[in-house]
């Protein structure tokens, strides 16, 4: 009797497993980019939203991030410079995000109190934009 049930249920279980497999793959978070190996891009995307970066910048992948005050951050990972001042690298981007006024006094980008960990994750997300 048990063997008969297994023969009947096996195709159902196998079909369910195949249907759920793509969903499980999609749940895997993106790997950190090489420029910020300890960063969490998914968390960085949430932080960009919570810090309100989209009120000044257009940021791909962030709902409502369509600001026009600062430059659009599209293809950020392919850029050569940050704010025309710093070579585009993980450490430089984190420095800029944390304290833009120290890099370029008088810039329109405000110091908004971004923590070191938050800057790392924000940078990780921005470097995925290429």
> What is the CA 60 to chain-centroid distance, rounded?
10
Cα–Cα dist 65/110, whole Å: 17
pLDDT digits (tens, 9 = 90+) for 2-28: 556 545 555 555 555 555 555 445 556
Strand partners, 66: 58
- Residue 113, sorted as left (phi over 0), alpha (psi -120 to 50) or beta, turns out to be left
In a domain, 54, yes or no: yes
User: How many Cβ atoms are within 10 Å of 42's Cβ, its own excluded?
Assistant: 15
In a domain, 114, yes or no: yes
What integer best gives the mean pLDDT of the chain? Answer: 85
pTM: 0.77
In a domain, 22, yes or no: no
Output the pLDDT for position 16: 52
Output the pLDDT for position 6: 46
In a domain, 5, yes or no: no
Number of folded domains that form the chain: 1
Mean pLDDT of the 82-100 span:
95
Output the pLDDT for position 129: 93
In a domain, 6, yes or no: no
In a domain, 25, yes or no: no
Output the pLDDT for position 80: 95
Q: Helix, strand or coil for residue 81? A: strand
Output the pLDDT for position 130: 86
In a domain, 121, yes or no: yes
Which is more confidently placed, 28 or 114?
Answer: 114
Which structural domain, as residue segments, surrounds residue 98?
31-126
Output the pLDDT for position 52: 95
pLDDT digits (tens, 9 = 90+) for 20-57: 555 445 556 668 899 999 999 999 999 999 999 999 99
**The domain that contains 111 carries what CATH number?**
1.10.760.10
Cα–Cα dist 79/86, whole Å: 11
In a domain, 21, yes or no: no
Percent of the chain surpassing pLDDT 70: 77
């Amino acid at each position: 009797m048990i063997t008969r049930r297994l023969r009947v249920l096996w195709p159902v279980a196998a079909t369910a497993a195949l249907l759920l497999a793509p969903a499980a793959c999609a749940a895997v978070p993106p790997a950190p980019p090489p420029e910020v190996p300890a960063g969490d891009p998914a968390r960085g995307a949430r932080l960009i939203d919570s810090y309100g970066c989209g009120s000044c910048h257009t940021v791909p992948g962030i709902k409502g991030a369509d600001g026009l005050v600062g430059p659009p951050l599209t293809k950020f990972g392919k850029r050569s410079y940050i704010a025309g001042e710093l070579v585009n690298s993980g450490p430089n981007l984190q420095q800029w995000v944390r304290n833009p006024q120290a890099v370029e006094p008088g810039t329109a980008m405000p110091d908004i109190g971004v923590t070191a960990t938050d800057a790392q994750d924000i940078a990780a997300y921005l470097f995925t934009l290429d």
